[in-house]
Amino acid sequence: MLKVAIMKKPLLTVDDVTGCWAIMPTPSKPNGSDINATDTVDLDETARAAEALVASGVNGILSQGTFGEAATTTWEEKQAFLRTLVETVDGRVPVFGGTTSLNTRDTIRMTKAVREIGVDGVMLGPPMWCQPDVPTAVQFFRDVAEACPDTAICAYANPEAFKFDFPRAFWAQIAEIPQVVSAKYMNIAALYMDLNLTGRKIRLMPLDMDYYAAARMDPEACTAFWTSGAICGPEPVIQLRDLVAEAHKTGDWGKAKALTDRIAATYRTLFPNGSFKEFSVYNIGIEKARIDAAGWMTAGPCRPPYHVIPEPILDGAREAGLQWAKLVSALESEKTA
């Protein structure tokens, strides 16, 4: 039985969000796709992977998002997973747990509960049963922040998942909520404008392969990124973080650009037909297949109903995982050469 010391840490700020933030799946046991299963979380693999991520040097861990299967794990499973994660990390890096639900009251209830478990913050997208407009989405974040004043919030800005485009007016308004310290951000084309609208009060974290471009755009503000690739083997993204930091000091961005190109090449088969929209239909299965193929962590089968995935889609995901594993191996060889 895990014993978690319930000791709330101070509210994180934007200055606490730097470097490489790995997104963890909620690993499943072999019974993960069974609709009758009541205990599907592989807690041993959770602890092993969390420990390995911290040892690798990641700066933070995000969890219970889309391929963290927040929508398909039970409340009991969520708590067991987050307790194990918090206990394993033991305060060495910040841990965020997703508490998105279909309504504000459940999100507040879960946010309070996981904060008691010991997470530093929550990854949060707006409820998505009905497509929200800007006032609805902003009020949702305001209500959660007011009800949970000691909990940091990472805005989960995925337009396909939440049926919301996260427009400029949204960023301008949630920047006034102190608890919103970061965002899992995807719209690299709008990044500079959104940075200006937020007054740089929110750390907009792009995907790993977009980090180089973001850091070139605004090296003072763009000092963190999110990555699912870290779960396929953290070496490439740890090196990327360090090369960008070095380039910021020296002005020589060549090595950071070269590694970014190698990372981007592993994504070639990940998005079906090159479409993020199509990827989003099968996001959970694609990411878990990629992770399992890479072999650094066992993500396990998908929980229903998202366990029905066309085999050609999975083939592309597995190839992306194998390419990431080859990149890890190559980088490790280069370090020892």
Q: Is the pLDDT of residue 26 over 60?
A: yes
CB 8 within 8 A of CB 117: no
- CA–CA dist 118, 90 (Å, integer): 9
Model pLDDT for residues 148-166, shown as the tens digit of each residue: 999 999 999 999 999 999 9
Structure tokens belonging to residue 280: 């989003």
pLDDT band at 5 (very low <50, low <70, confident <90, very high): very low
- Count other C-beta atoms under 10 Å from residue 58's C-beta: 22
State the distance between the two ends of the chain, measured CA to CA, in whole angstroms.
Answer: 44
Q: Which of 3, 9, 29, 156 is catalytic?
A: 156
Positive or negative: CA dihedral 181, 204, 271, 45 = negative
- Of the listed ranges 1-15, 30-44, 73-87, 305-319, the one predicted with least confidence: 1-15
Closest CA to 58 of 67, 66, 49: 49
Model pLDDT for residues 166-186, shown as the tens digit of each residue: 999 999 999 999 999 999 999
In terms of DSSP bridges, do strands 152-156 and 180-184 run parallel, antiparallel, or are they unpaired? Answer: parallel
pLDDT band at 6 (very low <50, low <70, confident <90, very high): very low
Model pLDDT for residues 311-328, shown as the tens digit of each residue: 999 999 999 999 999 999
Residues comprising the chain, all counted = 337
Each domain of the chain, given as residue ranges in start order, spans 14-330
Q: Is 156 a catalytic residue?
A: yes
- Classify 90 as helix, strand or coil: coil
Q: Which of 3, 8, 29, 184 is catalytic?
A: 184
pLDDT at 97: 97
Model pLDDT for residues 77-110, shown as the tens digit of each residue: 999 999 999 999 999 999 999 999 999 999 999 9
pTM score, whole prediction: 0.95
- Count other C-beta atoms under 10 Å from residue 253's C-beta: 18
User: Looking at domain 14-330, does it have CATH number 3.40.50.1980?
Assistant: no
Q: Is 184 a catalytic residue?
A: yes
Mutual angle of helices 191-198 and 208-217, in 10-degree steps = 60
pLDDT band at 10 (very low <50, low <70, confident <90, very high): confident
